[in-house]
Structure 1
């Protein structure tokens, strides 16, 4: 699973600049790191800007927003990366999660010549197509059946 948002806390002192850290800052940092450890989460790689929040005058900045992922997420989608994008109106930058090796488009249909030389191939295709009951135009039926 994946947890994301404005946690309003940093993990290390280098994630905050231009802000005088008090005792409460140390407590918040320890609590936040304990939460991440207890939930067995991982702070994933960041690309782009270093900070996600900027004071309007630009004198203070912090990394308050982030994606945290579980071990099962990291296994299912290795190479997940978070991008800190440019801000325009708000004081927070948008963050984007990119999941590597994910293709969201349909896969192209492919066939091999050797299939057509196999004596069982045509019977296999006919059987598979007969098991699917698609209604519509001829082109639509052909398209849906080619997904088999």
Structure 2
């Protein structure tokens, strides 16, 4: 055990605290129920810098006397993905001179590295100008 502790110190690792059940092992020893935290996830400060929003979760298990640890590796907080609102061209815009100017402005500013990306950029630019 001393060798393991020396390795942890030498590598500058620390215990990445987990959420969930506190004890990761349970068993009967000398007629008594014993619960301890044996299983851990060790990280370095460099690892934590790369994955600051990660978390360790002690899962429940019916199959073993050890609890599995799940590591959710995330470099940033996951945000709820906002559904992109669909763009709808309104027919009444056809009668507005200002709309015509906006379409021309958006369409003329679209460029790309190939014909497909050029047309996609023109459409996106036109949509953005009209939405403004």
- Give TM-score, length-normalised by structure 1: 0.49
Deviations 1:43-77 (A, max 9, x none): 11221111211115771222222211122211111
When Rg is computed on C-alpha atoms for both structures, the one with the higher figure is 2
What RMSD in Å do the two structures reach over aligned CA positions?
A: 3.9
Q: Which residue of 2 aligns with 1:130?
A: 115
Q: Which runs of 5+ in 2 are unaligned?
A: 86-101, 125-132
Q: Which residue of 1 aligns with 2:73?
A: 99
Q: Distance in 1 between matches of 2:7 and 2:62?
A: 31
Per the TM alignment, residue 88 of structure 1 is displaced from its structure 2 partner at its CA by 0.5
SS in 2 for 1:33: helix
Higher RCO (CA < 8 A, seq sep 6+)? 1
Q: Distance in 1 between matches of 2:113 and 2:83?
A: 19
Q: Does 1:55 align with 2:49?
A: no
- Asked if the contact 2:53–2:77 (Cα under 8 Å) also holds between the matched residues in 1, the reply is no
Q: Distance in 2 between matches of 1:131 and 1:72?
A: 42
Q: Distance in 2 between matches of 1:38 and 1:120?
A: 62
Q: Which residue of 1 aligns with 2:6?
A: 34
Q: Which runs of 5+ in 1 are unaligned?
A: 1-27, 111-116, 133-141
- Give TM-score, length-normalised by structure 2: 0.54
Q: Distance in 2 between matches of 1:39 and 1:129?
A: 50
Q: Which residue of 2 aligns with 1:25?
A: none
- Asked if the contact 1:41–1:68 (Cα under 8 Å) also holds between the matched residues in 2, the reply is yes
How many residue pairs were aligned? Answer: 102
Q: Distance in 1 between matches of 2:109 and 2:28?
A: 66
- Asked if the contact 1:52–1:64 (Cα under 8 Å) also holds between the matched residues in 2, the reply is yes
